[in-house]
Structure 1
Amino acid sequence: MLISIIIFIVVLVAAYFLFVGFYPTFGGDVSKERQAEFTKSTQFIKGKFENTKPVNMSQSFSETLNMAKKFFFTNVKNGRPKNDLSVKKIDSLNIVNYADSTRFIWFGHSSFLLQINQKNILIDPMFSNVPAPHSMLGGKRFSTELPIEVQKLPKIDAVIISHDHYDHLDYESISILKEKVDTFYTPLGVGVHLEAWGVQKERIIELDWWQETTFYDLKFVCTPAIHFSGRKFSNGQSTLWSSWIIQSKSENIFFSGDSGYGSHFKEIGEKYGPFDFAMMECGQYNEMWPEIHMFPEETAQAGVDVRAKKVMPIHWGAFKLALHSWTDPIERITKKANELNLPLITPKIGEPFLLNENKIDSDNWWK
């Protein structure tokens, strides 16, 4: 029996290393030469990126097993919609011919098409059906369709990526998009995955926190977040995570990426606010990981902290990645936002909406 158990463990370990070594979805690895460049960053300490306020990311084997057991075997009431969510469809010509004021199209979770100053910008484009290295390793998207098929998207001027987790950086999506995209913008190190997937290094711009860059008549700012990174057991915290600011001459937009609640939101608001619009993480939270994802009440407060005129809750409506009901995020943030007099934008997936619209959608489509 002991020999059989040992053989089984050896086979599992060998299978894992073969899977990780040859399956492309895991991306690339940061080289020693690249790490040497990261030493200029105050966030890069002893070979890894760290949050400004230390977050304990180390878990014992038993803690990891306990978390996995709860996630895979807990029956969550209303964890997924009873029926597939319907999405608003949009065609390629509508996108190509659009030349009006700044507008957004939400693809669910944290993925957006932003059309601003005659530029098409994708934010965290995760268009696959499952946020995992293989389709058998995760739950399916809540909707069977996207607002537009990825193959039908027109030329994309820029892609902005917040970090390298599977629900934000997707191999299949990048593989289809890469020839359509002019430039990719990422936090430090994330470009190593893009390079592994065939994106030329010259088309990738990596930034540290508080670094700015110009893109035609727009400004992109890489700003802090409280989170972590890694696509496999061996490369945790090897790349940086971030929030982002997108500015035109007349508009100021904030995208939170994934983040726990912290003082960085107020600091961002003081340095770059007020914001006309903020896309704020609101979903996939749990008391087992309170430091790296915000609870909805914290999301609303973070919107106040960054001095946002309007907030849209994101990181929900597409995947089950936690143990709350699928509508819990939007129900709780709606209640808290009302208490704080914080205007919310809650469009349907695929429904285009304009930045300068004063109408606040309140039809509670998720009900």
Structure 2
Amino acid sequence: MKINLSLSLVCLTGLLSACSSNHITRITADTPVAKLLEDGRYGNLYPGDKTYPVTCQENCYPPHPDVQCETSAEHCQYIGAQTPPGLNSGFTVRWLGHASFVIQAPDGQQILLDPVSKQFDWPVDWAADWFADTHREPGLWLGGEQLAKTSAVLYSHLHYDHFNKADIAEIGNQAEYFVGLGSGDYFDQGGYKINEMDWYASKSLGELTIHSVPAHHFNGRIWVPFLYDDNEKALWSAWLLEYQGKTLFFAGDTGYSAHFNDIHQRFGDIDICLIPIASYHHEEHSKWYRYVHTTPEDALTAAAELNCKVMIPWGYGNASWGMGDLSSHSALLRLLAMYPRLNSEVPLLILNEGDEVAL
């Protein structure tokens, strides 16, 4: 009812064009890449059992002097001194929380990545209120004037914590939307311009090129979105923004697999990497959680394979819901613990929700 009501209010205010049919364009790569299985579902490029290069075995969550918390690993802020690398990429990155980012491209275009104003889309937001161990305060959100400046909205997949129909109605139909193959039918009708993209398909907005690239995850829009075989009839994706040779990579929700090496082979060293480090820990289903989510050490391995010039981790935080995590900042503590153990040379840039950095 919440979504239908919001759209009805749009119509009642006179913006009847917002209730018109959507415009869906299907963009494929030169050679189809996404794996469409016999039953009409998509699959990952590298399915099957995984062997991970590194796994933390002990003392994985030690306190860190640069992470200041109200209670143990909960309600924290990163307070360490940082000097952003001088990449001169022209990209500005603002983290809203969980997987949501606002990207300012070098030409001034505003790009939203997985924008979600609350923790979940309806009706999962209502159901989640009943589970105190998963619920935290929602992340930051943009005002109407800033939303109106949006040129493009990129969604990695359709899960309720990454794709919110009410937010789409608020963003409006002036922006272009970029999603995986088969995802356009999940939008409410509102005159939206939707680009459905295969992996390694591309589209340019001026001098900015948006590339869809693989992720190792799954998809679906049912009430329990974390069952592996729930739907899979719409493709999940990562995204790469490219402007005059400078690149920004958003991994989306993903597990570790050889697809990171594939992306590096196609695009070379990546300037800015936004890679998740959370939602992997669950006592009963830890193997499955890690299969579709990167641990901090998996994220560092992926960043090395991409040869990232800077890695910005995400997924932890005061506004990230407690799905497969010990606490709001346990994943960050594990990242900071594993970084020297792996002798990682990838520069890290740690953000708190709301932080913005020009790179």
- Structure 1 and Structure 2 fold alike (TM over 0.5): yes
1:1-367 superposed matches below 5 A: 42-46=34-38, 47-55=40-48, 81-82=74-75, 101-116=90-105, 117-130=107-120, 133-138=123-128, 142-143=136-137, 146=140, 148-149=142-143, 153-179=147-173, 181-194=174-187, 197-200=188-191, 203-232=193-222, 236-286=231-281, 287-289=286-288, 290-317=290-317, 318-338=320-340, 339-355=343-359
Residue number in structure 2 paired with 1:358: none
Q: Deviations over 1:108-160 (max 9, x none)?
A: 11101101111011011011244563333125764456253467533210001
Amino acid at match of 1:329: A
Sort the Cα spacing of 1:145 and 1:322 in 2 relative to 1 into closer, same or farther, 3 A: closer
Amino acid at match of 1:349: E
The percentage of aligned residue pairs carrying the same residue is 24
Answer whether contact 1:128 1:172 (CA < 8 A) is retained: no
Task: Give every structure 1 segment of 4 or more consecutive aligned residues whose post-TM-superposition deviation is greater than 6 Å.
Answer: 22-25
- CA distance, structure 2, for counterparts of residue 230 and residue 328 of structure 1: 27
Answer whether contact 1:110 1:257 (CA < 8 A) is retained: yes
**Backbone CA RMSD of aligned residues:** 3.3
- CA distance, structure 2, for counterparts of residue 82 and residue 212 of structure 1: 39
Answer whether contact 1:189 1:239 (CA < 8 A) is retained: yes
Sort the Cα spacing of 1:134 and 1:144 in 2 relative to 1 into closer, same or farther, 3 A: closer
Sort the Cα spacing of 1:323 and 1:269 in 2 relative to 1 into closer, same or farther, 3 A: same
Answer whether contact 1:132 1:138 (CA < 8 A) is retained: no
Answer whether contact 1:337 1:344 (CA < 8 A) is retained: no
- CA distance, structure 1, for counterparts of residue 255 and residue 332 of structure 2: 17
Answer whether contact 2:73 2:330 (CA < 8 A) is retained: no
Greater relative contact order, per chain length (Cα 8 Å cut-off, separation 6+): 2
- CA distance, structure 2, for counterparts of residue 324 and residue 238 of structure 1: 31
Sort the Cα spacing of 1:330 and 1:182 in 2 relative to 1 into closer, same or farther, 3 A: same
In the alignment of these two chains, the number of paired residues is 287
Answer whether contact 1:162 1:186 (CA < 8 A) is retained: yes
Amino acid at match of 1:269: H
- The structure richer in helix per residue is 1
Gaps of 5+ in 1: 1-18, 26-33, 57-77, 87-99, 356-367
- CA distance, structure 2, for counterparts of residue 102 and residue 221 of structure 1: 16
Amino acid at match of 2:166: E
SS at 1:104 equivalent? strand
Query: Displacement of 1:262 after TM fit?
Result: 0.7
Sort the Cα spacing of 1:183 and 1:42 in 2 relative to 1 into closer, same or farther, 3 A: closer
Sort the Cα spacing of 1:79 and 1:164 in 2 relative to 1 into closer, same or farther, 3 A: farther
Answer whether contact 1:259 1:293 (CA < 8 A) is retained: yes
Q: TM-score, normalised by structure 2?
A: 0.71
- CA distance, structure 1, for counterparts of residue 118 and residue 138 of structure 2: 10
Q: Deviations over 1:201-253 (max 9, x none)?
A: 6x111111111221111111111111100011796101001111100004111
Structure whose CA Rg is larger: 1
